[in-house]
Amino acid sequence: MTSSPATSILLIVLPIAFNAAFAALAKTFDYPEILRRPTREILARFRAGGSGLVLLWWGFAMTAVLFAPLAVLLAFRLDGADPTVLVLGATVGVLAALVQFLGLMRWPFLVPYLARADAEPDATDARREAIDVIFQSFNRYLGVAVGEHLGFLLTGAWSILSGIALMQSGAVHPIVGAAGIVIGAVLVVCSFEFVGPFERNGWKLAAMLTPFTYIAWSLWLAVTGVVLLF
């Protein structure tokens, strides 16, 4: 295994790209708060965003794709770590990228169609009710179950495994690896926001922790990238 600046660059660029896209969606689409509003209001806001909003959602989904090569490159970067931990980390990281990508891709491809269909002047009440059911079903399945639950769970597991590998390799100060383990564990906890008894209204503790944990996770990635670069 050899040191590669590509690993450090991805560790730094990925959180910047992710947070930039998220901030743009929050500003232009009031995401994620808008998801608490009625379906027709969400779709009307989506239509108002035009093609620019569709492309923004596509770009946000592409940030998830970047996570796959990052997970693989980091595994190749960490000399001295347990090979089993490295293989597991790379595999879990690629799976985390996949489920987050699948969860987000409904926005640039499915939602535009539903938004157009909802706005058709001859759309009946029955058709709009069907659109509501489809939108909410995909939101709960691809958004909550696949993108958020599996996404948070696998990202947390990858962070834990990466933190262990970082400590084993000696490539960074042990505190950096330990931070990844702690942040990853909190992400795993956050992944259960809508599981079991919390399925309907969500777990308030997880909802409160999630945004702060993702900020901490983003900073951890960037710091790790800078340390590995130098």
Residues 6+ apart with CB under 8 A from 222: 11, 12, 15, 16
The whole-angstrom separation of Cα 20 and Cα 175 is 27
Which DSSP state fits 201? T
Nearest-angstrom CA–CA distance, 229 and 207: 34
pLDDT tens digit sequence for 146-156: 999 999 999 99
- DSSP tag of 1: -
pLDDT tens digits, 13-55: 999 999 999 999 999 999 999 999 999 999 999 999 999 999 9
Q: Which residues contact 141 (CB under 8 A, 6 or more apart)?
A: none
pLDDT of residue 81: 95
Residue 2 reports pLDDT greater than 50: no
Given a contact cutoff of 8 angstroms between Cβ atoms, the answer to whether 18 and 63 are in contact is yes
Query: By the 8 A CB rule, do 67 and 93 touch?
Result: yes
State which H helix or E strand residue 196 sits in.
Answer: none
Could you report the per-residue pLDDT of 118-174, keeping only the tens digit for each?
999 999 999 999 999 999 999 999 999 999 999 999 999 999 999 999 999 999 999
Q: How many angstroms from the chain centroid is the CA of residue 159? A: 13
Structure tokens belonging to residue 214: 């993702």
Pick from 172, 192, 185, 193: nearest CA to 213: 185
pTM of the entire predicted model: 0.94
Quickly tell me which residue has 């960074």 as its tokens: 172
CB 3 within 8 A of CB 77: yes
